[in-house]
Amino acid sequence: MKTYNSVKQNVMRKMFALGFACVALLVGCGGFTEDVNGIVAEDHSAKVTLIESQYALARVAQSGKVERSAAGDSITIVLEINGGCVKEGESFAYDENFYFADSLTFAYSFRGDTLLLSKIREPDPYEADQERYEESFIFVGGTAGKLDGIWKNTQCRYREEKMYCMNDGYDQFFKFDGDKVEYRVTDRVDYDYMQTVFVDQLFDFIGDGGSIQLETPYYYSDTKYEQEEYGISILEKTKKSMKFSYNGLTFDLNVDYAYYKDSLSVTLKSGDVTCVGKHREIVYVQPEMCSAAYAGNFYEIEDTGLLKYEKQNDSEFEACIDGILGRNQE
C-alpha cells in the first residue's frame, strides 16, 4: 500500500487538531490546483452583498482580538478559548477560568479589492528539497485599503507570486472590527463530495486494504489514481452520490449529510449489505458533557490541555466493507 495516504492522514490530524482558523488557514488540507480562475471578476458591490449574506448564515467558530502594528502593515490575529473541559487526575471538570489563545502574525496589503495576508513559510518537514518562501492568502469582500469589514477566504494563495487554489468543502470568513475579530465557517453549497480524500481512501481500502478516516470528505482530492490503479469503473455520479463497480461487484455510495467540524454520515451499499459510516465531533465540550460518561471519546486538543469529543465507527465501517469483499480482517 502506498505510504502517502498514511502520511497525509497523520499530517491532517496535526493540522486540524486545534480547529483554529489560523491553523486551518495557513495549511489547508486538500489538493492544490494551479487555477488562476479561482477569483472570479464580478461587480464588486454585488460580491460584497453576497459575502455579507453568506457570513450572516455561517456559524461562529471563534472570536478574539486583532493587534495592529504601529506602522499599519501587519496584524496579529489572536483567537481565544474561554472555558473548557479538562482532565483533573482521573476525573473530568469544566473549568470556567480556562484560557487559551492561538495567534499568528501576518503582513497585510491590498491588491485591487482583495486583501492579502502574507507570511514567510518554513520548509515542510514532510516534503523534500523545500526552501523558505513567502505565501499570501487572498481574501475578498471588504473595502480596498480598509482592514475593517467582512473578508472571505477565497481558498487561493500566492506562492512567490504564482497563484494556487484549493477546493475544499467549507468557506471561512473573518470579520475585523477595530481590535476585535470573529471567525465563521459554513459548508459550501453544491460541493462535490465525490472528489475528496474520503473517496480516495475508500477506493484505496477496497483495492488494497488501507484505512478510511470518516472526517475527510471535506478535503479535495483527485481520485483518478486510485480509480485507475484498482480498476474501479464509475457508472453514475452526482455531487453527493456515486455508483461504481469493482471486481464484479456494484457499489452505491451516498453522503447522507456532512457538516464541517461537526458531523457526517455516509452509506455504502452492495447487494443486500449496507455499511454506514458516522463521525461526530464537538470541539468545545459544554459542562453537561464534561463527565466520565464520555471519557472514551475525549481527546486532548494538542498542546492546549483542553478536551474535545470525537466519535466515529471507522473500524466497523471497514469491517462491513471487508464482509462485502469476502476479505478476512487481519
Domain ranges of the chain: 4-187, 197-325
**Cα angle vertex 174, ends 171, 176, to 5°?**
165
Instruction: Kindly give the residue spans of alpha helices, DSSP state H, lying in 287-326.
Output: 314-325
In this prediction, residue 222 carries a pLDDT of 92
For 177-204, the pLDDT digits (tens) are: 999 999 999 999 999 999 999 999 999 9
- Asked if 135 and 119 count as a contact pair (C-beta separation under 8 A), the reply is yes
Asked if residue 177 lies in contact with residue 62, where contact means CB atoms within 8 angstroms, the answer is: no
- pLDDT range class, residue 330, cuts 50, 70, 90: low
Task: Give pLDDT, residue 303.
Answer: 81
Sign of torsion over alpha carbons 223, 224, 229, 230 = positive
Contacts of residue 151, Cβ cutoff 8 Å, sequence gap at least 6: 115, 139, 140, 141, 142, 173, 174, 175, 176
36-65: average pLDDT? 78
Residues 183/62, Cβ–Cβ less than 8 Å: yes
- The closest alpha carbon to 151, from 173, 118, 182, belongs to 173
Phi, psi (rounded to 5 degrees) for 292: -65, -20
**Which DSSP letter does residue 122 get?**
P
In the chain, the percentage of residues whose pLDDT exceeds 70 is: 85
**Which H helix or E strand runs over 32?**
none
User: Given a cut of 50, is residue 17 above it in pLDDT?
Assistant: no
